Amino acid sequence: MPATTTGGADEALSVLVREALDRPGMTFRRFTEATVDPATGYRPGTTWLHKLVRNEVVRAPEPQVLRALATGLGLPLARVQRAAAAQYLDYDTTELTGLPADARAIVAHLAELDPADLPKVRAVVEAFVARRSNPGGPAGA
């Protein structure tokens, strides 16, 4: 199961914006024009965006700003949210990649379980894997 740790200085929101501005053909004006929240039409101000680029914004952006930035950056909202969490909350995440939605939902629910129950859950999962690997053999071997 591939896992990727995200967060930290190289994944900061300011860094994502600077990288976008460094792309060939990108200008600050083009970026600001594209930075619109599709849900509300909100546009962050030019001064605020300049401060973000210079890493001078001290508070985490509001959700509408993150949606606008995701649009302007051409990135998934979740990636922009993780970058904001890394920069403003010193929060690193681990993302499971290559898993179907049901598997990610199961993993998310595991965090809610009592740690004493995790060996039981593991035994159930291993029994399913064993049965799949050996369809004619006993389950849970």
According to CATH, the topology of domain 3-95 is 434 Repressor (Amino-terminal Domain) (1.10.260)
pLDDT in tens, 43-61: 999 999 999 999 999 999 9
Q: How confident is the model at residue 71 (pLDDT cuts 50, 70, 90)?
A: very high
For range 24-34, the mean pLDDT: 96
Q: How confident is the model at residue 91 (pLDDT cuts 50, 70, 90)?
A: confident
Identify the pLDDT of residue 132: 83
pTM equals 0.64
Alpha helical stretches, state H, the chain: 13-21, 28-34, 46-53, 63-73, 77-89, 101-110, 118-133
Is 60 strand, coil or helix? coil
Identify the pLDDT of residue 6: 46
For range 104-116, the mean pLDDT: 76
Answer for the pair 38, 67: CB distance below 8 angstroms, yes or no.
yes
Is the sign of the CA dihedral 38, 40, 46, 48 positive or negative?
Answer: negative
Identify the pLDDT of residue 10: 56
Count CB atoms within 10 A of the CB of residue 68: 26
